[in-house]
Structure 1
Amino acid sequence: MTGFADIVLMIIALAGAGAVAGLLAGLFGIGGGAILVPVFFQVFGLMGIDDAVRMHLSVGTSLAVIVPTSLRSFASHRARGAVDMDLLRSYVIAVPAGVVIAALVFASISSGGLRLVFAVLALLVGLKLLFGRDSWRLADDLPGRAGRFSAGIGIGFLSTLMGIGGGILNNTFMTLSGRPIHQAVATSAGVGVLISIPGVLGAIWAGWAAPGLPVMSTGYVNWIAVAIIIPVTLAVAPLGVRAAHRLDKRQLELGFGLFMLLVSARFMVSVLAG
């Protein structure tokens, strides 16, 4: 990418993605990575970045953006008293442990393998958003210490491989365990903090000295993309938090679910074609 018009289009695309990601961070308690990863994948492709590192770079950069977004979203939700701090404290070791395991996998998995992981999980998330019901329950309350620890490891592991903040998975875990959606959304913002900070460090470690990375990258994190998107997400995230406590989110869930299915299909086609 050398043309001025291409650079302008890249900045516009990244800023737009940042706005959507920030809104979703506050609205659904997610870090916005489900939006950012596919956008990064497309933009990095336009920049001519090697396919061997493009997906890894998308995931790592997404995790870097999620750090400030999750911190601000968590602070806003906690100020409203909506966060389940007991559950969050039970995640303090479990979630980062899952992130560390994911970083080890991240360092060795191929681009195609990483895209396949994202495609499968995006498909499951999309189906849950489209067909899930608030009335679905697996239990009347959250499990005990061992169950919460296991859930934390799984949430940290899968979220890191997808480059997301864990909100989608934690929302599902909490609502299926009888907790109200607003509490799940608020608590998930804190989960994003526990995932994104060690996740960024893992992405930097996994991609250290990897060939084919673009300028201003540290491992699998590109700081140019981070610098463009973070101010936008920080500005928009509080709007999503306010909306989360007022709106019926069913239509947004349907739209986001369809988006996830399209993203899943896009990555699946790229894997089969590659």
Structure 2
Amino acid sequence: MEDISLLSLAILAAALLATGVVAGIIAGLLGVGGGIVIVPVLYYMFTFLKVDPTVLMHVAVGTSLATILATGASSARAHWKRGAVDMDLLKTWWWAIALGVIGGATLAGNISGGALTVVFGVVALAVAANMLFRKDGAALAEKLPGTPIRETLGVMIGGISVMMGIGGGTLGVPILTLFNYPIRKAVGTAAAIGLIIAVPGTLMSIYFGWGVENRPPFSLGYVNMIGFLLIIPASTLSAPLGAKIAHTIDPSKLKLVFAIFLGFTGLRMLYDVLL
């Protein structure tokens, strides 16, 4: 997409603005945020716009990570003010998460877009299954494990999250609550984990995508700047609409809707790549 007309550029901008609106509504409606919504919507938008499949998923992931820099910082600050961020845990866990991010981003930068899509699809299915079949309050143990299992979990959260272009909530909250961790503190701590993932993840997405051909126009490495600048305000403004709708719907039904959304997305991505 090196040579692009003004009309094509306008279509791209409109599609990315729509991505932000859709992502914001879904995030507000379902109480989620970050890449778990943005990446699939970008994936479908870029597919529709016929972005080269070899870079499509890389740009979706990189752009999503960049948006988390803004949304994650705001979320983490809000949770920190309410005392919901476990700083003691982060002081001993951040380096393992960061190590996972570096490893995951390096791997993501050197594998095909198809392989990256498979990673997202498989993990999306796993998250959907967890939401559908895990009973509320079910825990694996009474407290977080010690070294080296805790560090291994941190590496896993960082590595998988950066390859999917997501923040800390999608994997961090389920994993923490598996060990009887209070849900509010899990959500707040996961928001801070999102920044640990997004900062190096975005920088490495820019580095590995630098000079790569067939990226959408106005891309800094694998970060599409049009998407970055349009998604953040659009999602921020549209999220209250989703939240308003959420108050009129049964929470259990919302959980079911999101699980179905993730399951469908995961299956569709795997279908596109493997079949």
Deviation at 1:142, TM superposition (A): 1.1
Deviation at 1:80, TM superposition (A): 1.2
Deviation at 1:134, TM superposition (A): 2.2
Aligned counterpart in structure 2 of residue 156 of structure 1, from 154, 158, 171: 158
Secondary structure of the equivalent of 2:204? helix
Rounded Cα–Cα distance in structure 2 between residues aligned with 1:152 and 1:75? 21
Taking only aligned residues, the RMSD between alpha carbons, in angstroms, comes to: 2.7
Aligned counterpart in structure 1 of residue 18 of structure 2, from 9, 13, 17: 13
Rounded Cα–Cα distance in structure 2 between residues aligned with 1:135 and 1:232? 35
Deviation at 1:238, TM superposition (A): 8.8
Aligned counterpart in structure 2 of residue 196 of structure 1, from 195, 198, 201: 198
1:141 aligns to 2:146 (yes or no)? no
CA contact (8 A) 2:21 2:235 kept: no
TM-score (normalised: structure 2): 0.88
Secondary structure of the equivalent of 1:93? helix
Aligned amino acid, residue 163 of structure 2? L
Tell me what 2:82 maps to. Answer: 80
Matches within 5 A, 1:86-235: 86-235=88-237
Deviations 1:189-232 (A, max 9, x none): 01101101111011111111111112211111101001001123
Secondary structure of the equivalent of 2:114? helix
CA contact (8 A) 2:36 2:170 kept: no
| C-alpha distance 200-8 of structure 1, shift in aligned 2 (>3 A) | closer
Rounded Cα–Cα distance in structure 2 between residues aligned with 1:180 and 1:256? 22
| C-alpha distance 102-210 of structure 1, shift in aligned 2 (>3 A) | same
Tell me what 2:42 maps to. Answer: 40
Aligned amino acid, residue 137 of structure 1? A
- Consecutive unaligned residues of structure 2, counting only runs of 5 or more, are none
Aligned amino acid, residue 22 of structure 2? A
- How many residues of Structure 1 are paired with residues of Structure 2 in the alignment? 268
Rounded Cα–Cα distance in structure 2 between residues aligned with 1:239 and 1:5? 26
CA contact (8 A) 1:155 1:169 kept: yes
- Consecutive unaligned residues of structure 1, counting only runs of 5 or more, are none
Matches within 5 A, 1:50-65: 50-65=52-67
Deviation at 1:234, TM superposition (A): 4.3
| C-alpha distance 179-237 of structure 1, shift in aligned 2 (>3 A) | farther
